[in-house]
Amino acid sequence: MNKEIKVGVLGAGSMGSGIAQIAATQEHQVVLVDLNDDALAKAEASLKKILARLVEKEKINEATSKSIIGRIKFSNNVNDFNDCGIVIEAIIEKLEVKQQVFTQLEKIVNDDCILASNTSSLSIASIASACEKSDRVIGIHFFNPAPLMPLVEIIPAVQTTEETKNTARALIDSWKKVTVLTKDTPGFIVNRVARPFYGEALKIYEEGIADFATIDWAMKELGGFRMGPFTLMDYIGNDVNYTVTETVFGAFYYDPRYRPSFTQKRHKEAGWFGRKNGRGFFDYSEGAEKPEPNKDEQLGAEIVNRIVVMLINEAADALFLNIATREDIDLAMTKGVNYPCGLLEWADEIGLEEVLLRLEFLHAEFGDDRYRPSVLLRRLVRDNKTFY
């Protein structure tokens, strides 16, 4: 039944074309729409290149590659969405623009067509409010690169019906993705819980405890994370990462937990975005030498412990506030950002009392509310319970 659903994707950037690739690979007819003809041509060329590489690696054969690309219609006309069962929007992260687009889409599609946004940080309720039939609007947040990353966050708005939620989730599940259900709150699961990975690393640097290379070495080699925070920020782009932090900070009514960093702000202002333009926290120009970390194990352990307890505290608070289930929070962090272990599971391993002690020490030391321990963590320690 699912294969019969025609899938519309709006926006032919890397995210949109990635989603189109997934849907076409799962044998759906797909319409990829972008008003910019150059973007469409680029998306088509890029998809053909990706599929050719998969043929080369013997992941698929030539016939499969041809049928995947054959199922995608590249169009500059939004009216081509008229017979789609679902349309997924993957355009610029600006609320007014998305609202305008959803108002327009509603006039084109059938009454039972689901309208979804791939936003990573905007309110789904706000996007849905632009529609007369707001109960068919939902958030479906893929991670970059969409064909490779297994996780997809499913975000119903307060207006979304159960039927819309269940249909959307079943469809994405059928695409062999790992779906997690999350409340429509700033940053959803991943972008909310991951904030201290960047924020606390920046604060450790600003306090003069360690440099970028040492913090990255500690988190990767001792913490088991796939990438250090500064390498990851350079990979994402300081322009993008800083903006997300600032958005989340404002959306949480300036809760000190999400306070942005002047260090990152200055890098953004200097145009040091990271890998994409050759200079970020590290220098990526040709022949540039990578700074050597200070491989002091004791210092490294101190860095890892501090960042990890902050991540755990954020995950505990997300559970306390019913943002998602315990399993979905842990699944989101392992499948969405490749954490070595689910954070709540990790908390049980360390010992909740130990986690609470470290947070209380930081809270007392700095007198800063960013370190306030989650109520849930305090209750579990008091009642001698664990997350699992």
Q: What is the DSSP letter of 373?
A: P
Q: Which of 17, 118, 120, 313 does the annotation list as catalytic?
A: 120
The helix (run of H) or strand (run of E) holding residue 32 is: strand 30-33
Of the candidates 334, 300, 287, 295, the one whose C-alpha atom is nearest the C-alpha of residue 315 is 334
Q: Which helix (H) or strand (E) holds 328?
A: helix 326-336
363 is catalytic: no
Told to judge if 65 belongs to the known catalytic residues of this protein, a careful annotator would answer no
Strand, coil or helix: 50 = helix
DSSP 3-state of 253: coil
Does 191 participate in catalysis according to the annotation?
A: yes
Any alpha helices (H) in 207-296, and if so which ranges?
Answer: 212-217, 229-236, 238-251, 262-269
CA distances from 195 to 198, 230, 291, 298, 335 (A): 6, 13, 25, 24, 16
Enter the tokens of residue 319: 């559970």
Measured between alpha carbons, how far is 207 from 306 in angstroms, rounded to an integer? 13
| H or E stretch covering 112 | none
Annotated catalytic residue within 65, 134, 191, 374: 191
DSSP 289-311: PPPPP---HHHHHHHHHHHHHHH
Asked if 347 and 355 count as a contact pair (C-beta separation under 8 A), the reply is yes
Q: Is 153 a catalytic residue?
A: yes
The CA distance from 180 to 94, in Å, is 24
Please say whether the beta carbons of 87 and 8 come within 8 A.
yes
Tokens of 3: 């294969």
Percent of the chain that is helix, strand, coil (3-state, to 5): 55, 10, 35
Q: Is the dihedral of CA 278, 282, 283, 289 positive or negative?
A: negative
- Exposure letters 309-329 (e unless 16+ CB within 10 A, then b): bbbbbbbbbbbeeebbebebb
Choose, from 118, 141, 313, 345, the residue flagged as catalytic. 141
Residues acting as catalytic residues: 120, 141, 153, 191
